[in-house]
């Protein structure tokens, strides 16, 4: 089977790119290892910028929030914008909504499909994907890895990176919660290497945390739930990665979490990913116009461009993340106490998408 572009990963980033490329007249294959699309192991807490990219359906939005409460062992620091700042979105519905747009645009979809091998030809990459109906060979001029933090494309094509991983885990409880504030918990004893959270989802409440991979995130999550007199009754888990990552090579691109287009402070990546989808779509279109799929061309028109836009913000986030992770409970109390003194400036100038 011959395609112009093969995208591995049918989450919102891969599906969005497939939709854009199909609209340019390119023949796109969109493959995902899952048989059912929809990422439940993601909070779906998106800034209102998401509406710049998608006209969300009303039933996708579970709540609207305008700020957060940061909890440390002995300090509570509240940031409230006084206006809608973020949308709490149902990720299952959201992911399937964007996938449908990709399919409607003409992208050919393969589910339950895993990349198992590849061979480079003069004018394409011939990829073998394992599907429920047996192996299929797909020839494409370009392969895009949009397959998340544990990207198989990144591994298979040996794209270099300096990444840090944390393990995220969350559960949903049937507790009505329409609060306009998300709650975040910082303590080495609660979530070493990251933080824990409580998200109001209207008719339900989400509890979650992430820890450095050296720690047992499931055990820390059990302890966190006990603070609310809750027992673990089911959970969704997924790795998060952030840092610096090569995202272009000959006939290969990475986008989204696979390219570490992720905020180190919070682990969120949907807006960064959508910014990079726009850059990738233009670069890929230009590559087809020039018939140039070399690593140098793709680096210049994609990797360099998105890093010029986002890497200063990612590096700032890495610095803050490293600082927070080095602090004990007493130092975290002092840190957030200092932030509280600058509360007015943070509320007026802070931007959740670029930290």
Q: For the segment 220-276, what is each residue's pLDDT rounded down to a tens digit?
A: 999 999 999 999 988 999 999 999 999 999 999 999 999 999 999 999 999 999 999
Distance of CA 346 to the CA centre of its chain: 24
pLDDT-derived band of residue 29, with 50, 70 and 90 as boundaries? Answer: very high
158 — phi, psi (to 5°)? 55, 45
Q: How confident is the model at residue 98 (pLDDT cuts 50, 70, 90)?
A: very high
- Fold classification of 2-354 is FAD/NAD(P)-binding domain (3.50.50)
**Do 59 and 145 form a contact (C-beta atoms < 8 A)?**
no
Tell me, what's the pLDDT at 338? 86
pLDDT, residue 39, reads 64
Confidence of residue 42 (pLDDT cuts 50, 70, 90): confident
Residue 134 Ramachandran class (φ > 0 left, ψ -120 to 50 alpha, else beta): left
Q: What is the mean pLDDT of the chain?
A: 93
**For residue 326, how many other CB atoms are within 10 A of its CB?**
9
* Mean pLDDT value of segment 48-69: 93
Residue 347 has pLDDT above 80, yes or no: no
Q: Model confidence over 156-166: pLDDT tens digits?
A: 999 999 999 99
Q: How far is CA 143 from CA 15, 16, 38, 40, 280, in A?
A: 14, 15, 22, 26, 12
Domain coordinates in residue numbering, the chain: 2-354
Look up the pTM and report it. Answer: 0.94
Stretch 336-348: mean pLDDT, rounded? Answer: 74
User: Are the beta carbons of 202 and 62 closer than 8 angstroms?
Assistant: yes
DSSP E strands, the chain:
2-8, 28-32, 45-47, 61-65, 67-71, 76-80, 86-89, 108-111, 114-120, 125-131, 134-145, 161-173, 181-185, 196-200, 205-212, 236-245, 248-249, 252-254
CA distances from 34 to 22, 110, 218 (A): 22, 9, 23
pLDDT of residue 231: 94
């Amino acid at each position: 089977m011959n395609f112009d572009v093969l995208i591995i990963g049918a989450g919102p980033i891969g599906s969005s790119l497939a939709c854009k490329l199909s609209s340019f007249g390119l023949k796109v294959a969109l493959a995902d290892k899952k048989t059912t699309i929809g990422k439940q192991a993601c909070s779906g807490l998106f800034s209102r910028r998401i509406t710049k990219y998608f006209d969300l359906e009303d039933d996708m939005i579970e709540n609207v929030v305008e700020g957060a409460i940061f909890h440390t062992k002995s300090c509570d620091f509240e940031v409230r914008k006084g206006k809608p700042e973020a949308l709490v979105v149902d990720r299952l519905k959201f992911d399937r909504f964007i996938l449908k747009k990709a399919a409607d645009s003409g992208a050919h979809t393969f589910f339950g499909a895993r990349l198992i091998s590849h061979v480079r030809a003069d004018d394409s990459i011939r990829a073998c994907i394992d599907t429920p109906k047996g192996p299929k060979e797909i020839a494409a001029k370009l392969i895009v890895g949009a397959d998340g933090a544990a990207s198989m494309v990144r591994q298979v094509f040996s794209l270099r990176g300096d990444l840090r991983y944390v393990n995220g885990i969350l559960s949903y409880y049937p507790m009505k919660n329409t609060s306009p504030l998300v709650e975040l918990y910082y303590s080495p004893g609660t979530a070493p290497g990251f933080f824990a959270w409580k998200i109001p989802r209207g008719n339900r409440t989400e509890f979650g945390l992430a820890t450095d991979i050296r720690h047992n995130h499931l055990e820390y999550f059990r302890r966190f739930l006990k603070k609310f007199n809750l027992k673990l009754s089911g959970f969704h888990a997924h790795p998060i990665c952030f840092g610096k990552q090569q995202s272009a090579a000959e006939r290969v691109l990475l986008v989204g979490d696979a390219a570490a287009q992720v905020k180190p402070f919070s682990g969120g990546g949907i807006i960064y990913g959508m910014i990079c989808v726009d850059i990738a779509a233009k670069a890929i279109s230009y590559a087809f116009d020039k018939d140039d799929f070399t690593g140098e061309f793709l680096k210049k028109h994609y990797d360099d461009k998105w890093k010029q836009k986002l890497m200063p913000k990612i590096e700032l986030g890495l610095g803050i993340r490293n600082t927070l992770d080095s602090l004990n409970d007493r130092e975290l109390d002092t840190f957030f106490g200092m932030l509280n003194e600058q509360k007015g400036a943070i509320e007026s100038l802070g931007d959740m998408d670029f930290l």
